[in-house]
C-alpha cells in the first residue's frame, strides 16, 4: 500500500507553524489521513491569521489529530484561538510548566511594547494561561497530555501513579489507530461534568505511535528535567507569586491543575496603567526567566515496513529538489529549547539516540538564537540537510551570527514570504 508523508514549515515568520500530513492509499482509492501541527504562533499575528486560514481551507474536511505545543511564549501559541475556531483538534500534547514560569510569561507579554496585538488578544493570552485545560476543553479538544519533567526532578506538584502505556487505544478518523507510551502520574484535573475530555500528566517523555495498514508514524517528545533543587524552586515560585499578588492586591489561591487561576488576567488589567506597568518592570527584572527550559522537542519519523524506501524532499526555489533512496527521514522540532550547555545537550541527544542520524530537517532552537544552541547542536545531526530559522527576515534578531556561521549553506530562513515555505516529502511505493 502506498504511504506518503509531507512535512511543511509554513510562512508564519518569527514564531512557529509546522504542519505534517501522512496518507495511505487503500485498494478502493480512498485515503487514510493523519494531520499534526507543532506550535501555532508568531510575532506578527495578522500575517499568521492568513496562514492559518489558508491551511484550514486547504484541509477543510480533515481534523488536526495531534497538536504539539512547545511552550507558552506567545509567539508559539498566539494562533491557537484562530486554529481551534477553524479546525477540530483531537489531541493536544504540551509540557507541564510551573505557575512561576506562567506568571513570568504573562509579565513579559504585557511589558513588551510594539507588538501587533490589541487588548482583546492580550486578554485571550491571559485566559489561556489562567486555565489552559479549560480553554482547550472549551475549544473541543478530546484529549490533553501534559509532558512532565524527568521523574528524578521530584517537583512534587502531582501525585505519582504507575501506568504505562496510558490511555485507551482508539482510532483517529478515518482509520489511524494511536498508542501512547509514558510514565503516567494522574489526570491533571477532573473534566467538567458535561465534558468527555481526558487529561493526563506524565513523568518524562511521551512517545506516540499512529498506525494505519502498512504504515506507522512515530512522534517522540522530550521535555528536559528540572536541574534546580525542587524545594528551592518551589520557594522561589512562592516568593514571586506572593510578591505579584501583594502588588496587584489580589486574594489568590493556586489551582488544582496547571494554570494561574485568574492571576494572568489580573496582571493584564494591572498593566493597563502606565505607573503600574513600571512597578511590574521591577518584579520582572528580579524574577525574569522564560519557559524555554521546559520547551518540548518533537521528532516525527515514518516507520518503513521494509528496507525498500524512497524519499524526496522539496525545498524553496533557491534550493534544488533531490531524490534520494535510503532510510525514512525524520523532521525535528525544538521550540525554544535551551541546548547551549553540554549537560542539557547530552541529555537531549541521549533521549533521541540514533534517530538523530535520520533527521533531514531540524528547526533551530529559539529561531536560531546564539543563546540556545551552537555548532555542537548541529554536529549531533550528521545527516541534516537543512537547519531552519523561523524569523522576520532581513537579519533582524535571529538567527545569531554564530549559528549562521556553523550552518553555512544549510541554513534556511522561513519568514512571512510564501516563497520561503520549506517542504519535505516522503513516499513509500507499494511493494510488488
The confidence score (pLDDT) of residue 227 equals: 58
Does position 127 have pLDDT exceeding 60, yes or no?
yes
Q: With respect to residue 344, please indicate whether it lies within any of the assigned structural domains.
A: yes
Q: With respect to residue 49, please indicate whether it lies within any of the assigned structural domains.
A: yes
- 15 — alpha (psi -120 to 50), left (phi > 0) or beta? left
Angle (CA) 117 104 87, round 5°: 50
In the structure, what pLDDT confidence band is assigned to residue 322 with cuts at 50, 70 and 90?
low
Residue 48 φ/ψ, nearest 5 degrees: -65, -40
pLDDT digits (tens, 9 = 90+) for 274-301: 899 999 999 998 887 655 678 999 999 9
Does position 192 have pLDDT exceeding 80, yes or no?
no
In the structure, what pLDDT confidence band is assigned to residue 116 with cuts at 50, 70 and 90?
very low
Q: With respect to residue 13, please indicate whether it lies within any of the assigned structural domains.
A: yes
Residue 28, Cβ neighbours under 10 Å: how many? 5
pLDDT digits (tens, 9 = 90+) for 386-418: 999 998 776 566 789 999 999 999 999 998 888
Q: Which domain holds residue 196?
A: 3-97+139-227+296-428
Burial (CB count within 10 angstroms: exposed 0-12, middle 13-18, buried 19+), residue 318: exposed
In the structure, what pLDDT confidence band is assigned to residue 207 with cuts at 50, 70 and 90?
very high
- Short-list 342, 340, 381, CA closest to 363: 381
Task: Please compute the mean of the pLDDT values over residues 103-125 and round it to a whole number.
Answer: 78
Q: What cell does 416 get?
A: 512571512
C-beta of residue 100 within 8 angstroms of C-beta of residue 267: no
CA distance 362 to 259: 30
Q: With respect to residue 234, please indicate whether it lies within any of the assigned structural domains.
A: no
CA distance 61 to 10: 20
C-beta of residue 68 within 8 angstroms of C-beta of residue 80: no
Pairing of strands 297-303, 215-222: antiparallel
C-beta of residue 96 within 8 angstroms of C-beta of residue 149: yes
Burial (CB count within 10 angstroms: exposed 0-12, middle 13-18, buried 19+), residue 383: middle
Q: How many domains does the chain have?
A: 1
- Short-list 400, 377, 376, CA closest to 389: 400
Q: With respect to residue 170, please indicate whether it lies within any of the assigned structural domains.
A: yes
In the structure, what pLDDT confidence band is assigned to residue 432 with cuts at 50, 70 and 90?
very low
Q: With respect to residue 269, please indicate whether it lies within any of the assigned structural domains.
A: no
Q: With respect to residue 244, please indicate whether it lies within any of the assigned structural domains.
A: no
Q: With respect to residue 46, please indicate whether it lies within any of the assigned structural domains.
A: yes
Record the pTM: 0.90
Residue 217, domain CATH: 3.60.15
The confidence score (pLDDT) of residue 431 equals: 45
Cβ-Cβ contacts under 8 Å for 85 (sequence gap 6 or more): 139
Amino acid at each position: 500500500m502506498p504511504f506518503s508523508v509531507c512535512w511543511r514549515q509554513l510562512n508564519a515568520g518569527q514564531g512557529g507553524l509546522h504542519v505534517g500530513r501522512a496518507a495511505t492509499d487503500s485498494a478502493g482509492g480512498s485515503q487514510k489521513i493523519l494531520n499534526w501541527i507543532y506550535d501555532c504562533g508568531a510575532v506578527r499575528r495578522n500575517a499568521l491569521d492568513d496562514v492559518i486560514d489558508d491551511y484550514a481551507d486547504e484541509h477543510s474536511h480533515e481534523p488536526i489529530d495531534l497538536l504539539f505545543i512547545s511552550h507558552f511564549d506567545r509567539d508559539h501559541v498566539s494562533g491557537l484561538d484562530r486554529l481551534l475556531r477553524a479546525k477540530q483538534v483531537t489531541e493536544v500534547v504540551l509540557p507541564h510548566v510551573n505557575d512561576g514560569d506562567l506568571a513570568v510569561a504573562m509579565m513579559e507579554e504585557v511589558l513588551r511594547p510594539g507588538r501587533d496585538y490589541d487588548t482583546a488578544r492580550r486578554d485571550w493570552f491571559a485566559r489561556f494561561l489562567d486555565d489552559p485545560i479549560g480553554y482547550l476543553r472549551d475549544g473541543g479538544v478530546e484529549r490533553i497530555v501534559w509532558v512532565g519533567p524527568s521523574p528524578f526532578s521530584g517537583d512534587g506538584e502531582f501525585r505519582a501513579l504507575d501506568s504505562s502505556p496510558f490511555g485507551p487505544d482508539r482510532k483517529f478518523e478515518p482509520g489511524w489507530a494511536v498508542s501512547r507510551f509514558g510514565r503516567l502520574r494522574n489526570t491533571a484535573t477532573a473534566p467538567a461534568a458535561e465534558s468527555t475530555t481526558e487529561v493526563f500528566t506524565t513523568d518524562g517523555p511521551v512517545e506516540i505511535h499512529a498506525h494505519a495498514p502498512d504504515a506507522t508514524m512515530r512522534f517522540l517528545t522530550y521535555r528536559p528535567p528540572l536541574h534546580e533543587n525542587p524545594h528551592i524552586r518551589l520557594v522561589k515560585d512562592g516568593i514571586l507569586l506572593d510578591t505579584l499578588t501583594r502588588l496587584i492586591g489580589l486574594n489568590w489561591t493556586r489551582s488544582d491543575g496547571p494554570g494561574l487561576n485568574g492571576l494572568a488576567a489580573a496582571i493584564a488589567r494591572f498593566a493597563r496603567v502606565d505607573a503600574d506597568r513600571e512597578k511590574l518592570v521591577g518584579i520582572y527584572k528580579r524574577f525574569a526567566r522564560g519557559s524555554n527550559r521546559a520547551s518540548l522537542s518533537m521528532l516525527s519519523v515514518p516507520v518503513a515496513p521494509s528496507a525498500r524506501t524512497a524519499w524526496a524532499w522539496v525545498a524553496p526555489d533557491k534550493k534544488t529538489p533531490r531524490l534520494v533512496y535510503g532510510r525514512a527521514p525524520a523532521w525535528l522540532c525544538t521550540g525554544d529549547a535551551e541546548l547551549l550547555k553540554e549537560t542539557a545537550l547530552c541529555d537531549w541527544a541521549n533521549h533521541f539516540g540514533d534517530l538523530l542520524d535520520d533527521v533531514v530537517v531540524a528547526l533551530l532552537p529559539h529561531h536560531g538564537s546564539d543563546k540556545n544552541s551552537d555548532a555542537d547542536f548541529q554536529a549531533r545531526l550528521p545527516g541534516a540537510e537543512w537547519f531552519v530559522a523561523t524569523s522576520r527576515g532581513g537579519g533582524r534578531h535571529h538567527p545569531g551570527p554564530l549559528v549562521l556561521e556553523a550552518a553555512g549553506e544549510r541554513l534556511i530562513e522561513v519568514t512571512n514570504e510564501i516563497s520561503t515555505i520549506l517542504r519535505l516529502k516522503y513516499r513509500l511505493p507499494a511493494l510488488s
